[in-house]
Amino acid sequence: MTTKTPLILVTNDDGILAPGLAALVDVVRHLGDIIVVAPDSPQSGKGHAITIDVPLRLNKVDAFGEIEAYECSGTPVDCVKLAMNVIKKDRDFDLCVSGINHGSNEAINIIYSGTMSAAMEASLEGVHSVGFSLLDYSFDANFEPAKPFIKSICQYMLANNARKTRLLNVNIPTGSIEGMKVCRQGEARWVEEFREAKDPRGKDYYWLTGKFEITDDDPQADVNALRAGFISIVPSKHDLTDYTDIDALKPLEKQNGIHKV
């Protein structure tokens, strides 16, 4: 039985200076060898974007004492790709943790989230990954109550070699925490509004804003576990196939372009 020190990648989407990143480094720093690679500017809402049309910059920074840390000019997904293919190309990561995000990534937010996209990118490369998000968007959010739970989840991920690569979407409520609950991704939507105005030159502009609306009353949905005071843990995956619709679509196979343009 070998007891190799695990190699842990820490990243986020709020950027290298975000207090949520420092809180996450603080939790995992004694669980293994740590490498931090985070964007050099906030990248919220960047989803699974990658940078292909401009080159990327990567700078070593002294942000966390003796811990090896880098800032990158790209997206959260770029950070993970650089960590794996440039910084540590000769060694495999045992765990990737992303966050702690300042704000919720529950429900459909997972697809807009740079935090979760970074975690998913690592999982695509076979690394167990967790994205952590606190339901508080403020810069000075209090991450302390979440720390023991996050440590517990990281220790579980390091100790349990699952049959396949795991990707967890973990959201943490504010206020008193009742415990942890394994959930499914809840149904919710953003009711969008654009603030319309004119710039100083009289030209129209539109600024995205919106209200998060929960449309799910299942207690197993992450949205409802969170509102009951639980940390929600949603096992997630990158296969977006809707298997329930494959048979229904079979008639399409017979059409083979018989309708002329």
CB of 141 to a second copy, least distance (A): 17
> Rounded to whole angstroms, how far apart are CA atoms 163 and 186?
25
CB of 124 to a second copy, least distance (A): 6
Residue 136 or 222: the one with the smaller Cβ distance to a second copy is: 222
Q: Which of 213, 232, 115 is nearest to 172 (CA)?
A: 232
Neighbours of 89 (CB within 10 A): 10
CB of 127 to a second copy, least distance (A): 13
CB of 129 to a second copy, least distance (A): 12
CB under 8 Å, gap of 24 or more: what pairs does 137-146 form? 137/102, 137/103, 138/102, 139/18, 139/19, 139/102, 140/19, 141/19, 141/20, 141/102, 141/174, 142/174, 143/19, 143/20, 143/23, 143/100, 144/23, 145/176, 145/177, 146/23, 146/100, 146/172, 146/177, 146/231
Residue 1 or 52: the one with the smaller Cβ distance to a second copy is: 52
Residue 82 or 141: the one with the smaller Cβ distance to a second copy is: 82
CB of 62 to a second copy, least distance (A): 18
Paired sense of beta strands 204-214 and 188-198, if any: antiparallel
CB of 63 to a second copy, least distance (A): 19
> Rounded to whole angstroms, how far apart are CA atoms 42 and 64?
18
